Structure 1
């Protein structure tokens, strides 16, 4: 039975040959290549000057506001304006029953005439007594009495003239006219209503809408930081004129006409810790109405000697400090702590921590670690995407 072992030996030999062939193929394979250095976008650090603007909430307010109130008592006989329409200064608005005041005017005129007649009589008598008292034809006492009577009559005339003027004024108040030019509001009284001067019955209001004020609220801390930056020279005011202000309306659109900052508050509100700023805007189309909520971008000046760093290139360490990634010697990455100021148009304004000529990694920062060799690709600042917007508060 020796022939029974030959097939098995032949199979073992074939398997060994195959194993040797496979091991030989593995030995001929080349070693794996090292991973290539990652390519990153790098921005060359360069200091520049950046205009700053502060975004503040506010509400519109009329340039002039007049409350038209009754100045005499009486029945409203007529309303002579259209509610919500524009009126000119001096346009008639209401007519209050003038009959009682015409009568009062006539009585005042009669009183004045009587007083003038009495003055003429006493003056003539005084003139005669002046002649007679010199010849002792009348006593000195009679002369003094005549002189006192003449002075009293003159005073009566003056009082009657004042009463006549008052009567004329009251009669004029029965015709209520617009004290300013502007847009009228809803009438608070109707024809036949009784109005009183004592309670100063409100008839209507008139608001001048062109130009228009916008009242803004700024925190006292922001104002303090602004004054310190100006004093230190890091922030330079543009020109000697008033700061320019731009508006964003409630629907997110930008108001076409820029305004100017008119008033900067000098008193801090105890409840809110803010000061009130007032800006003035032209409003020829009457698009702005009193009471509208708006957001205003107020020019603050020009920040000197800062580096514009894209927001995506700035991260925070566990201590909350702003950090950036730089390409150092040998194209190795390193982390640097910086002082970031305001966020303007999608860029942090870095004041300290960077030097001119250094290379700043602006993409893929989250995937890099310090000490990694990279292949930097220089990009121009104009090629970087920005997110337009006003200056954000400084991140210290």
Structure 2
């Protein structure tokens, strides 16, 4: 019995090795299980004309501003406007007590009448002396004296008329009128206050806000690139009327479209920026001066360019933007892209892509360069950046696939 136990163990070991060898031979004959190709979603790219825009920060400003000051001194007797309301050009805003100015006007009018009263007698004397002078009844000196008296009387009339006009202007200045139409601000004086001519403190301020201006800041470097692109023909402008759209503080879009009015002639030395001014209609006075806005300016049209979805672009170890493409042989190719700017939820790429090339928009993390994949074409909604619809009519991919592209989209946005 003791000798039979080692024999049994040896027989079992030999049988196990024999079975393992048979299984290996069967595996060698039949081959391993076929490798499964990873699935990715791709989007076919086609050249298109892209409206190139720039979104710049800015602030609204009144198109006209007038500070109202008195031109004569006196006591404010009446205020004829509602603070914060609208006024028209020529409306009477304040009334200064006109008593002293009315008296000055009446005095000037009387002085004019007196001066004009001396004209007839002086004129008659000159006419009489001219007739007598022809008969040598008066001397030439008397005639010259009469003529000088007439000229003096006429000068007195002209001086009196000027004094009367000055008195009339000062009397009219007792009614302080709006120099422009617009929204009037708070009053700095009340009825009964004493004001002086040309005082430094304005009585109130009027701002014309229809139309309203928007001052935006553009980098001088970007402006230089823009002009170079236009000169080289890479960017076609839309003409002299450059349209501008506004995004308000709450994220909403302003309804009316504006246009660029002028470009400043100098660069701000401390910031390296240039100021542009756009003008917008503001009939309902929704925009008030000083509001922070973001202006989207249409710079031109970029032809034969490609829009690559941002979710398809990531960064390599050097920080360069790159994307993965699926070639006609079904293999993955990694390519560095020369992205210029973002357009919606896509990157604008002008070079390095051919028509109908397929870029991987979903599942790029699961594949590597040179790997053969199974590709299904989809469409990316540029407004949302999400996979909208499969090209063959299938439904949108599962949510977990959409979420897997989020890190790549986040990396591309850096």
Do both proteins adopt the same fold according to a TM-score greater than 0.5, normalized to the shorter chain? yes
Whole-angstrom distance in 2 between the partners of 1:258 and 1:26: 78
| Secondary structure in 2 matching 1:362 | strand
Preserved contact between residue 71 and residue 196 of structure 2 (Cα < 8 Å) = yes
1:12 paired with 2:6, answer no
Please give the alpha-carbon distance, in whole angstroms, between the structure 1 residues aligned to 2:354 and 2:376: 19
Contact 1:70 1:200 in 2 (8 A): no
1:1-396, aligned counterparts within 5 Å? 5=2, 8=5, 12=9, 15-16=12-13, 19=16, 23=20, 26-27=23-24, 32-199=32-199, 201-238=201-238, 240=239, 242-328=241-327, 330-380=329-379, 382=381, 386=385
Distance 2:197 2:221 in 1: 47
User: Structure 2 length normalisation: TM-score?
Assistant: 0.84
State the SS of the aligned residue for 1:236.
coil
Aligned mates of 2:383, 2:187 — CA distance in 1: 58
Aligned counterparts of 1:289 and 1:258: Cα–Cα separation in 2: 16
| Aligned residue in 1 for 2:408 | none
Mind listing any 5+ residue stretches in structure 2 that lack a counterpart?
Answer: 387-412
Deviation string, structure 1 residues 252-273 (Cα, Å, up to 9, x no partner): 2222222222223333333333
Q: Is the 8 A contact 2:309 2:380 kept in 1?
A: no
SS at match of 1:224: helix
Q: Would you say how many aligned residue pairs link Structure 1 and Structure 2?
A: 384
Partners of 1:274 and 1:133 in 2: how far apart? 83
Alpha-carbon distance in 1 for matches of 2:154, 2:222? 67
Q: Once the two structures are superposed, what CA deviation does each residue of 1:201-232 show, in whole Å capped at 9, x if it has no partner?
A: 41111222222211112122222222222222
Distance in structure 2 (CA, Å) of the matches to 1:198 and 1:367: 77
1:337-368 CA-to-partner distances (Å, cap 9, x unmatched) read 33221210121111111222333233344554
Partners of 1:331 and 1:52 lie apart in 2 by 34
Give 1:98 deviation, angstroms: 0.6
1:382 to partner: Cα distance? 4.9
Sort the Cα spacing of 1:385 and 1:288 in 2 relative to 1 into closer, same or farther, 3 A: closer
Task: Tell whether the 8 Å contact from 2:39 to 2:363 is kept in structure 1 after alignment.
Answer: no
Instruction: List gaps (5 residues or longer) in structure 1.
Output: 388-394
Any conservation in 2 of the 1:70–1:201 contact (CA below 8 Å)? no
RMSD, matched Cα: 2.7
Q: What TM-score, normalized by structure 1, do the two folds share? A: 0.87
Name the SS of the counterpart of 1:5 in structure 2: coil
Question: For 2:254, what is the secondary structure of its paired residue?
Answer: coil
Residues 382 and 183 (structure 1), Cα distance of their counterparts in 2 relative to 1, 3 Å cut: closer
- Higher mean C-alpha displacement, 80-89 vs 371-380: 371-380
Q: How far 1:246 moved relative to its partner?
A: 1.2
Once the two structures are superposed, residues 262-304 of structure 1 have per-residue CA deviations (whole angstroms, 9 ceiling, x without a partner) of: 2233333333332222222222322111111111111112111
Whether the 8 Å CA contact 2:37–2:374 is kept in 1: the answer is yes
Moved more, 135-144 or 93-102: 135-144
CA distance in structure 2 between the partners assigned to 1:384 and 1:246 by the alignment: 17
Range with bigger deviation, 314-323 or 229-238: 314-323
